[in-house]
Amino acid sequence: MNDMADKTKLNWRRFEDGDNTAPPMHDKIMTAGHSHKCPTYVHRAPPCQGSCPSGHDIRGWLAIARGQDKPPVEGMSWQEYAFQRMVEANPFPATMGRVCPAPCESGCNRNEVEDFVGINSVEQYVGDWAIEHKLVLKAPTQESGKKVAVIGAGPAGLTAAMQLRQQGHSVTIFEAHAELGGMMRYGIPGYRTPRDMLDAEIKRILDLGVVAKTATKIGTDVTIDQLENDFDAIFWGIGAQVGRPLPIPGFDAPNCLTGVQFLEAFNKGRLKYTTKRIVVVGGGDTSIDVASVARRLGHINTPHAGDHPETAVLGYVAHDVASSAQREGVTAVLTSLFPIEEMTAAEREREDAKREGIDLRGSVMPLEVIKDDDGRATAIRMCECTMDGMKPIPTEGTEFTIECDMVVSAIGQMGDFDGIDDINNGNGFIAIDKVYGVKDRNKHFAGGDIVKPHLLTTAIGHGRIAAEGIDHFLAGSPIDRRPKVDVHQFNLLEELHQRGLDPEEYDHNPKRGTSESHFAIHNYEDRAKTHIIPADELFLGEFGYTPREVRKEIHISADSVVGNFEERIEGLTEEQARHEGERCMSCGMCFECNNCVVYCPQDAVFRVPKDQYAIGRFVDTDYTKCIGCHICMDVCPTGYIQMGLGE
């Protein structure tokens, strides 16, 4: 039994009590025991993939994990095959397997049975295995002769660089920091994204032949005009490196900082300790990170004169504290406009914060920073509030004060346009069109937080999509629209090709009876770019109660948090990872259960010969035997079979 058992449903029923009305029969088209309807194999996008901002083929690599999709190359391990599938869209499986809040798991149809598939944990397992076994990315097969500049080496820029390089373009990254990684390195503490892991995933991209110029700021060291003269296309992935201050009186005090400033100083090694009492205003993952880091750093009672923590945060000086200095605990209060259970931070992070002694206070809003005679913040005045959409409404008569030595604002971020204000849309971001081209600027594209701050995996998705747009632009065939379900889709033709099962050439003459021909993919339809399959189109009765394999987590108590910077998540074993693959319901794609073959009363549905097998081509239909009874559709657990007109 797993730790989510109180939220599970132990069985599933197609009909509830009182459901005694026969369903409408018009969609069955039953006439005299037969019809002109017969099964069509319809590929649709699973909700896990549709919920994933990076859009990678989750269902595909879970099928590899469970052993359904075998590697096409003899001697290749399933882990390497799964890794190859993952990095087609997301080059950071080990990183995202740790820090992504996993919207894919929230969207998982298995939640309607008992509990979601542990997608995030399988991703971490494969990512770690790939690093341990030094797997590499697929190199480009030919050179295009085109040159692309990527500005910013965060998740968006690095993903775009990988995709563009694999398409044969020459790629140069310009990064203002001394090291690559963006917010993965400078915005997230190392106990969540271990630096050796991050370095390994970045190195794979550089090993493709991507050139990186660090400590190089566009607008200062290199002008936009120079970029336009030297490169055929430019991708802006500069992130949102400027934190938003609290819009309240008194936040101009020297010990009032933003979460971006605080975390960057810590991750660069400048910030070694913090104040005794800190208030973090936010509610998202960044605010949790700030409060958690502060609790781990602790404070010391006898720092050098004038050596306040904010001096290190603002870059005036780096802390130089003897390792023997006695560190004491920090009182950290984290406030949110929303109730605690509605904070945007992941539930797991909220629970960890509570265990580590962070005081979470929801439904409160800041009113004023109170300063002493020296102009330093000594407290923050707040009140209770309710939310009208995104607007806080103060509750009269509920004002209160929290004494503190530092206030940190983690309420949002915007871009740094110093020297490049020409591309600022006026609100601190870059405006883009539907295909991620910068508006009114030829050959400029953008993605990531500089377009709209969101998750790291969102930035990865932006990089992937923008790279495709850049590739089309460089080829002289720019695209002007994106699919409704904009993810990295399974492609049956590619699957057939890697198995040596390509269809024959079509002579383009009219034909009838294509089921007997070999130039067409018989009775198959791909709706994945427009349709995400919901749970009510699956036969959920096929799936029994199977507990999820839960990753072990190291929970740190409040009295032992100071100085503890160890990683908190332990990865799955291979057996556990395969088990989670087996729990995947393969929504929208055949997972080879044989139900349609077993239950067909006419023996019209049959398994294809082994030498013609491929994912999505496990069964076929003899139309001369099919009477259109639709039983195969009713017993298909994954919703892959739909009834369509045919003969």
Q: Is residue 214 scored above 90 in pLDDT?
A: yes
pTM here is 0.91
521 pLDDT band, cuts 50/70/90, is: confident
Q: Is the pLDDT of residue 136 over 50?
A: yes
**Banded pLDDT at 86 (limits 50, 70, 90):** very high
227-262 pLDDT tens trace: 999 999 999 999 999 999 999 999 999 999 999 999
Spatial contact of 123 and 151, defined as CB atoms under 8 Å apart? no
pLDDT at 627: 87
Mean pLDDT of the chain: 91
Please, which pLDDT band fits residue 26 given cuts at 50, 70 and 90? low
Residue 625 pLDDT more than 80? yes
Provide the token pair at 438. Answer: 């910068």
CA distance 118 to 121: 5
pLDDT in tens, 552-592: 999 999 989 998 999 989 999 999 999 999 999 999 999 99
Work out the pLDDT band at 1, boundaries 50, 70, 90.
Answer: very low
Determine the Cα–Cα distance for residues 628 and 134; give it in Å rounded to an integer: 52
Percent of the chain clearing pLDDT 70 (strictly above): 90
- Greater confidence, 33 or 153? 153
Q: Indicate the pLDDT class of residue 611, thresholds 50, 70 and 90.
A: very high
Specify which of 8-22, 34-48, 464-478 reaches the highest per-range mean pLDDT.
Answer: 464-478
Q: Of the candidates 191, 369, 193, 355, which has an alpha carbon nearest to the alpha carbon of residue 281?
A: 369
CA distance 437 to 417: 18
User: Residues spanned by CATH 3.50.50.60 within the chain?
Assistant: 147-241+415-474, 243-412
Q: Which has the higher per-residue pLDDT, 322 or 488?
A: 488
For the stretch 382-392, pLDDT in tens is: 999 999 999 99
At residue 8, the 3 state secondary structure works out as: coil
CA pair distance 490, 313, nearest whole angstrom: 46
Classify domain 243-412 by CATH architecture.
Answer: 3-Layer(bba) Sandwich (3.50)
Could you give the CA distance from residue 514 to residue 159 in angstroms, rounded to a whole number?
A: 41
* pLDDT of amino acid 506: 85
Q: What pLDDT band is residue 101 in, cutting at 50, 70 and 90?
A: very high
Query: Can you give the pLDDT at residue 513?
Result: 67
Contacts of 577 (CB under 8 A, 6+ apart): 65, 121, 122, 125, 126, 549
DSSP notation for 190-252: TTTS-HHHHHHHHHHHHTTT-EEE-S--BTTTB-HHHHHHH-SEEEE-----EEPPPSSTTTT
pLDDT at 402: 98
Q: Which of 556, 550, 590 is nearest to 571 (CA)?
A: 550
Cα separation values, 584 from 43, 59, 378, 421, 638, Å: 16, 7, 53, 48, 10
Alpha helices in 436-573, H assignment, sequence order:
456-474, 492-498
DSSP letter, residue 121:
H
pLDDT band for position 308 (cuts 50, 70, 90): confident
Q: For the beta carbon of residue 427, count every other beta carbon within 10 angstroms.
A: 9
Three-state DSSP state, 174: strand
- Total Cβ atoms within 10 A of residue 35: 17
Q: Using one digit for the tens of pLDDT, what is the confidence trace for 499-516?
A: 999 998 888 888 776 667
Greatest distance between any 2 Cα atoms in the chain: 94
Please report the pLDDT score of residue 306 as a whole number.
Answer: 57
For residue 103, which phi and psi values (nearest 5 degrees)? -60, -20
Residue 171 CB coordination number (10 Å): 28
pLDDT at 302 over 60: no
Domain 147-241+415-474: which CATH number of 3.50.50.60, 3.90.550.10, 3.10.450.50, 3.40.50.150: 3.50.50.60
Predicted pLDDT at 516: 73
Question: Which segment of 13-17, 83-87, 186-190, 485-489 scores lowest on mean pLDDT?
Answer: 13-17
pLDDT band at 31 (very low <50, low <70, confident <90, very high): very low
* All residues at 6 or more sequence positions from 428 whose CB lies less than 8 Å from its CB, including other chains: 240, 242, 414, 415, 417
pLDDT digits (tens, 9 = 90+) for 312-359: 776 655 555 544 456 688 999 999 999 999 999 988 899 999 999 999
